[in-house]
Structure 1
Amino acid sequence: MLAAYAARFAPEDPISALEVGERPEPVAPEGWVTVDVKATALNHHDLWSLKGVGLSEDKLPMILGCDAAGFDADGNEVVVHAVISDPAWKGDETLDPRRSLLSERFQGTLAEKVVVPAQNVIAKPAGLSFEEAACLPTAWLTAYRMLFTQSGLKPGDTVLVQGAGGGVATALITLARAAGYRVWATSRDEAKRAKAIEIGAHDAFESGARLPDRVDAVMETVGQATWSHSLKSLRPGGTVVISGATSGQAPKSAELNRIFFLQMRIQGSTMGTRQELAGLLSFLANTGIKPHIDSVMPLKDARDGFARMNEGDVFGKVIFTV
């Protein structure tokens, strides 16, 4: 079957480690099911894998990808949940110390077929296309958990989304607006600031700009480059929810004095549970909002999509069709 996979690691030139070609079809072990993939989405996780982050060399070659929508063996339209927890684990899958994501220990979704535990498939709402549904299991699920599980926000509160443009950031903006929050966003790029307003932000500011008011919560996925601005933008007692650090994890200062003196909360967040994914699907169905797609291309052209993400020239999700 056709697949996009990591053949080696290349920290300085990750695209050179990507191969698009034939791989053996997966065989579903007991308790797992095969999904025929119709659409799959690209994430920063896939670029990190090509750099050798979170993926061990003994697992190569590894089919990349965490997101997929397609058909199960009975012909049902489904969305794949990418968090694979230990079979004995009960409760929040993201807290299982033995959890992994597809494409870390188990082959991923950038392929014609993927196998996952039976409980990791969820019915796709009829109102979403396969391309739209493929956006949800990583970026949109991460945003949903950040906003509705981890932030403590209530309707009417103000939330700042750092780094408008990426898959998680665009999801955060649209979900937050639909939930009744006042939404502000930042970006270095003027065009991305304009697009942020188009998709739901009440206002957008240049990265690092002084805001009109301090906010109740900051959604942080950029890390090192925006950390100080996030803390300075937060009201006393507010919350920074962090789910990534695409610009690096070592800010010049952690600003611990500011955090404890103003009693700020720093809340980590990663992916989401199957229950949260089901909630996200219901939220989209009930509100009518749709994921933001940067571009759609066939899986055979996956190298072009990886290059777009590596260059940072995206707004929304890059989707591959199968």
Structure 2
Amino acid sequence: MEMLMTEESRNGTAVQEFILEGFPAAEHLGIFLFLVHLLAYLASLMGNVLIVTITCQNQCSQTPMYFFLSSCSFVECCFITTATPQLLAIFLSGRQRISFVACFTQAFVFLFLGATVFFLLAVLSLDRYLAICKPLHYPTIMSPRMCFFLVAVCLVLGFLFMAIPVVTLSQLFYCGPNVIPHFFCDFGPLANLSCSETRSIETLFFNLALIVLFTSLLIATFAHRNIVITIMCLPSTRERQRAFSTCSSHLIILSLMFGSCVFIYVKPKQTSRLDTNREAALVNTVVMPLLNPVIYTLRSKQVHQALRDALSRVLLHR
């Protein structure tokens, strides 16, 4: 997507680049934090790639649930790659410069992929609802064609919801300063630096963030409420434990993601609490992508079996 350049400066001082400040208070821990976050980044990539690989290669895992999980994992790989390399560079060498166009492109891609993940989690909740509450109709409803359609809808909605505010923000006037108190280009810090009136665009972003987050939350709440009711009616204790185990993993991910994103984005004034937003953003860019594959894979017998099969094939070919 081609971002629109800022309007011509009336006094010759228009900002052409931004400086990402990172975490000035932790500069003395740069190498240590670089190594910690590098390991977390690599572990996140490996975990999410593992889910995608298992889903593609293992016949037992080629179900709608694992298709949505692998789609979410692929999007998360792209999501963390949008911001984490910038964070690693800041820890390693201090402040980083980024051009105007690159900064807004990063902001758009980050928000677009983040919104897409929330829509995918909502779809995953519906998938679990249909599998547990409507098992007889589940194979017919969740056909391969429907699965691809739902993922495409999530991508389109994420694109449309985030393109409007970011493109509008990029058309505002930036006359300086150009230091962003963050480790990547995000909506709030950029709105704070604009010399133009930002109230209307902040209100628009606030409303769109509300729609994305709380629509996903309502769908997930509806799905899991009905799932719990259905589980409580199951005759076997083992069946109830198995169903609760699957749903609890999903609820852990949802609660952490919704909590951090509501704290960062769902407020009418985006320029408030920028320092605390920076710390909270680490949850979305570092912690959550690492927890997702761990929680989903460690609690899935299908993934365990697929890993054993893959390991057996590797050993047999030696």
TM-score band by shorter chain is: under 0.3
Higher relative contact order (CA 8 A, sep 6+): 2
The structure with the greater share of residues assigned to strand is: 1
Which TM-score applies when normalising by structure 1? Answer: 0.26
The structure with the greater share of residues assigned to helix is: 2
